[in-house]
Structure 1
């Protein structure tokens, strides 16, 4: 979501400056590549790039293709094949062995449902969404960023094409929480739909405004997470100490939960270094549906807190991550922050947090349900 937010901001500036733009989206990958379907990049007519569609090797040629799309005022699908001699220079630099399909869409600001307006609607709502991008691998009908679906039923259509079953297919993606591909027939032409599941950014609530909370807040901001700092000390919980935080609350534990919203993407880290504060907040959190609760400090501290709360069950010991973070040999506050962020991402993504070199299956798998 951070990439999308950056693209929206860059487009707003380009529009203010009177510059034409195009959106490049990785819509399909065969084999391996640095970026996967759903990677996006905004290109302005004077060559400013926001986002990324590769490790850097495709961006130069993508600029030329985007300018062509802007000049011709039509969507274009471009194929980069690292196994093709003409495209070998891209593949060698990328270090991959695959085919990447990138869709270029010039942005028409006078059209209500252009790709940027659809992405803007997506970014404005903190909820899971399914986004449809339609393209043709063999024909000329490059429809592009087409529609958005959320659990509230918002559904926006691009003016090109009509797909009566698409709403139900997007709902299925929402239900399964998994991106996929589907094929449709339109006027005897095969149209492929990349149906992308997109979840909102993680909301990280850091209980504690000490010095060790600062790198955690900064790293989370780099990732595009929504950061809240909560502490009872007005001298510590300040915008000067946490300039990147989205929200700073000087509050007692009993008042904290009424000031925030907990959803499937909310993580709490208890690191106030105030035992009673952490204890009271932990007591409140155990009765919520918060998907991640982390406690800084040794395991004996967590066991003691659970004992005092009369909630030292196997379930709670498993649910609360204490000591918080992954074992990466962290010593400094910055290293500990990295280990905490990595564990939160793994838990909320349902990932194993193991080494990728030991993974036998592909890192990313997208299913084509028509096959």
Structure 2
């Protein structure tokens, strides 16, 4: 959700300066493209761009279209067809072999349910929502309603569907997206024939790091780049300080039994045990196993984690298979990591993959992590007589 945060911040600055703005949203992709539906970019009247709708090839033309939309004070649907090999004739040179539909809508700050207002509503609470963007593919000259409604899991809504004939069907489809977790684009043939991009928005990843050692610094930095919310937990007050971790949202100084007291946990929460203190990590693992989190990582060798699990078994704690599936140790994917920066990258990549339900080559699935194939070298020692020659 970093892109949405950046867009909101850019809008607030532009609005304070009295600048007009427009929002460009990729609402439908046919074929391949650099960005998928849901990619967004805020454009100001003086040409400042925040976010991205492509790899850089569409932005210039979209800027010109956005200025026109702002001048006309109405949304417009723009289509870039790159299925023709000679796509350079469009002046964008995409080479993506796809058709990209982009909705450009001027932002009116006084409008109660403007796209920015809906974004802010979503970001105000940590819960998934569905955002509905309406447009007319059949008639680009027809009114383009744009980003119009936000629905929460309790079925409460903010905004409205302008076409009453399709309202019930759209809201039913929105609830289905919330339950199944997949955004869809659907055209409703009755009513005014609008197409709706029904988009699932998930809260930012919440990353809880146990351990404020130096190797946690690059983990925090990578997570911050992605816009994740990072909480740092450690029992050592002189280690877990803002000066060492300026990008951390929350620092908790606590012993294991108090560590989780003020941390909100959900299905977008990932945990990393990296205190390098066996007893602390063990105490935390004992608690985390019962929480059914999607990702719990243990830094260090596989035998260290196995020892913890064996001890839990001796205590009478039965670790079920579904619990084991969410425990990753050694942490990270297999990219040949050696130093702390590379290890941090592999862990962050693994979390991203697990939360997105993508298969990766995790280190926990390897028999041995650090293996070396050393070619034997035959050494010959010269005799004293040979040395004289």
TM-score, length of structure 2 as denominator length: 0.87
Give the match for residue 57 of structure 2: 57
CA-to-partner distance for each residue in 1:11-38, whole Å, 9 max, x for gaps? 1111111110000000001111000000
Give the match for residue 275 of structure 1: 278
In structure 1, how many angstroms separate the alpha carbons of the residues matched to 2:107 and 2:326? 46
Give the match for residue 366 of structure 1: none
In structure 2, how many angstroms separate the alpha carbons of the residues matched to 1:90 and 1:284? 58
Greater displacement, 24-33 / 85-94? 85-94
Alpha-carbon contact 2:80-2:99 (below 8 Å) kept: yes
Q: Does 1:229 align with 2:236?
A: no
Give the match for residue 144 of structure 1: 146
Alpha-carbon contact 2:149-2:161 (below 8 Å) kept: no
In structure 2, how many angstroms separate the alpha carbons of the residues matched to 1:314 and 1:158? 46
Give the match for residue 154 of structure 1: 156
Q: Does 1:301 align with 2:304?
A: yes
Alpha-carbon contact 1:113-1:159 (below 8 Å) kept: no
CA-to-partner distance for each residue in 1:82-101, whole Å, 9 max, x for gaps? 13588535687433101100
CA-to-partner distance for each residue in 1:179-215, whole Å, 9 max, x for gaps? 112222465x321001111211110000000000000
Give the match for residue 208 of structure 2: 205
Shift of 1:256: 1.3
Counterpart secondary structure, 1:156 = strand
Unaligned runs of 5+ in 1: 355-371
Alpha-carbon contact 1:114-1:158 (below 8 Å) kept: no
Alpha-carbon contact 1:82-1:89 (below 8 Å) kept: no
In structure 2, how many angstroms separate the alpha carbons of the residues matched to 1:176 and 1:48? 37
Give the match for residue 32 of structure 1: 32
Number of residues of Structure 1 aligned to a counterpart in Structure 2: 354
Greater displacement, 310-319 / 103-112? 310-319
In structure 2, how many angstroms separate the alpha carbons of the residues matched to 1:159 and 1:29? 23
Give the match for residue 326 of structure 2: 319
Alpha-carbon contact 1:83-1:91 (below 8 Å) kept: no
Q: Which has the higher contact order (CA 8 A, sep 6+)?
A: 1
Shift of 1:159: 7.3
In structure 2, how many angstroms separate the alpha carbons of the residues matched to 1:160 and 1:319? 44
In structure 1, how many angstroms separate the alpha carbons of the residues matched to 2:91 and 2:272? 42
Q: Does 1:342 align with 2:345?
A: no
Alpha-carbon contact 2:87-2:94 (below 8 Å) kept: no
Give the match for residue 23 of structure 1: 23
Task: Determine which structure has more spread, i.e. the larger CA radius of gyration.
Answer: 2
Alpha-carbon contact 1:80-1:87 (below 8 Å) kept: no
In structure 2, how many angstroms separate the alpha carbons of the residues matched to 1:297 and 1:64? 53
CA-to-partner distance for each residue in 1:37-63, whole Å, 9 max, x for gaps? 000000000111000000000000110
Q: Does 1:98 align with 2:98?
A: yes
Q: Does 1:292 align with 2:292?
A: no
Greater displacement, 82-91 / 177-186? 82-91
CA RMSD, aligned part only? 1.9
The equivalent position to 2:183 in structure 1, one of 179, 184, 189, is: 179
Shift of 1:287: 1.2
CA-to-partner distance for each residue in 1:201-249, whole Å, 9 max, x for gaps? 1100000000000000110010011100000011110000000011111
In structure 2, how many angstroms separate the alpha carbons of the residues matched to 1:132 and 1:91? 31
CA-to-partner distance for each residue in 1:66-125, whole Å, 9 max, x for gaps? 000000000000001113588535687433101100000000111101111111111212
Structure 1 residues 39-50: aligned runs within 5 Å: 39-50=39-50
Greater displacement, 133-142 / 292-301? 133-142
CA 1:186/1:255 → structure 2, altered by over 3 Å: closer, same or farther?
same
In structure 2, how many angstroms separate the alpha carbons of the residues matched to 1:63 and 1:84? 23
CA-to-partner distance for each residue in 1:330-357, whole Å, 9 max, x for gaps? 1111110110011111111111136xxx
In structure 2, how many angstroms separate the alpha carbons of the residues matched to 1:218 and 1:276? 27
Counterpart secondary structure, 1:29 = strand
Alpha-carbon contact 1:81-1:88 (below 8 Å) kept: no
Counterpart secondary structure, 2:168 = coil
In structure 2, how many angstroms separate the alpha carbons of the residues matched to 1:101 and 1:216? 36
In structure 1, how many angstroms separate the alpha carbons of the residues matched to 2:161 and 2:179? 26
Shift of 1:164: 3.0
In structure 2, how many angstroms separate the alpha carbons of the residues matched to 1:203 and 1:20? 34
